[in-house]
Structure formats: structure tokens, C-alpha cells
Copies of this chain bind each other. A is one copy, B any other.
Amino acid sequence: MTLERWRKITEWPVMLAALVYLAVYSWQVLDPGTIPPGAASVVLQGIWLLFAAHYAVSLALAPAKGSWFLRHLHELIIVALPMLRPLRLLRLLTALNILHRVAGTALRGRVIVYVTGGSFLLIYVAALAMFDAERNHPESLITNFWDALWWSVVSVTTVGYGDLYPVTLTGRLIAIALMIYGIALLGVVTATLASWLIQQVAEVEEKSTAATVAHVDQLREELAEFCALMLEQTARHR
């Protein structure tokens, strides 16, 4: 079996498993009383094993193992950090492949869909993980899920009021990941706007300055016409 075939077959099951992981994890964090802790733990561990197996098989099937390993380092990080349990949820971002299908082929449109979808997912997941990491710490400021969600938005926009901030190591690692995403988000928003604006301005101006294919083609047609005329002339002359 080739790597592409393996990835294609497993794409939907992996996405489904990620969604189940998010659902069970959300339930466990948000309403811990109503879920048997053993069951939730078994499901989460099972899906983790599934992802690890998926990664191992993918690596085994890759023709150029070294290059595949380097280009899929993010998958390894997601699989290999069991002590940072909440961060594992970032694997959920693979669910964005669905959005990839919904969006058309226009590059900027696809960037907008990815960034919007990714931001919503990441803000939710970061809030969930932060709430899970902070709620049992005695000095914690983030004591309910709505606070965690509010903190998540304030951090990703780089506003950072400082009314709420993480105090645990896990919480700070989650915050660092979110802040780095925030910088990238600012960059993507700006880049998309700049790209659109530059193109719009260029379109108005290029019409009057740049030599387009149309101009060269027109020139070629005139040349061909003249060529035909000349050949006709010399032939008639002979």
C-alpha cells in the first residue's frame, strides 16, 4: 500500500476520531460529574493510541522517511507529548481539511476560510485546555469556562488586559502556543488585506502601463497579415 492511499483511506476515520476526542474531552472538562471518569479516560487513551499507530504506519510507508519525518514534525509533536495532555487537542486542526473542501479554489478565499475556522477551533480548544489546567490550582484566576474563553480571545488578539492570566506551567505553555498563533493571525489578516489591496490598485494601473499578452498577440496578428500580403504580392509578381 502506498503512503497516499493510506492517508486517503484514513483521512475521514482520523478526522472522526479527532472530533470524538474533542467531544469527550469537552464533556469531561465542562461537566465532569456526569461522565464515568474511567470511560472517558479509556476513549481518550484509545484515540491517542489510534493516532500514534496512524503516525507510525504513515512513517513506515513513506518512501523518503527522513524528508517525510521533517515535513510532518507537527504530527509527531501532537502524538508524542503525553504529559501535556491538553495540547494534544491541537490535532483537531486536522479537521480543517473539511473546510479545505468547502472553500473554492481561490487562494485568498481559502486562506480566509482556514484562518477563520482555525481561530474559532483554537480559541475553543485553548480555553478548554486552559480551564482544565488551571481550575485546580489554588492561586488560579481562571475558575470557569467562560473566563477561559474570554482569556483566550483577549490573548489571541494580543490585547492582554491582564485581568486573567495562567499561573501553572501547563497553562503558560498553552498560552505561549496561543500567543504565537495570535502573531501569525495578525500576519495572515494583514497579508491577505495587503495582497487584495495591492492587486486592486495594480489592476487599475496595469491596464494603462504593462504590456499584456493581448498586445503582443495583436502585434503577431498584424505581422501575419502583412506576411500573407507580401507573399501574395511576390507570388503575383512572379
Contact = CB atoms under 8 A, between A and B. Distances in A.
A101 interface: no
Given A209-B213, A219-B220, A182 B157 contact: yes
B222 A224 contact: yes
A213 B154 CA distance: 50
Residue among A161, A188, A233 with the most chain B CB within 10 A? A161
Contacts of A154: 160, 175, 179
B183 A186 contact: yes
A183 to B, nearest CB: 5
Contact of A210 (B208, B211, B224): B211
Interface stretch (A2-10, A75-83, A192-200): A192-200
A108 B198 CA distance: 10
Q: How many copies does the complex hold?
A: 4
A209 B199 CA distance: 13
A151 B157 CA distance: 15
Contacts of A229: 227, 231
A103 to B, nearest CB: 13
Contacts of A234: 230, 233-234, 237
A66 interface: no
Contacts of A188: 193
Interface in A197-235: 197-201, 204-206, 208-213, 215-220, 222-224, 226-227, 229-231, 233-235
Interface stretch (A33-41, A44-52, A129-137, A162-170): A162-170
Contacts of A183: 157, 185-186, 189
22 contacts: A108-B197, A146-B169, A159-B160, A160-B160, A160-B162, A162-B163, A183-B186, A184-B189, A184-B193, A190-B190, A190-B193, A191-B196, A194-B195, A209-B210, A210-B212, A210-B213, A211-B211, A211-B213, A223-B223, A223-B226, A230-B230, A234-B237
Interface of A: 107-108, 111, 146, 150, 153-155, 157-163, 165, 169, 172, 175-176, 179-180, 182-201, 204-206, 208-213, 215-220, 222-224, 226-227, 229-231, 233-235, 237-238
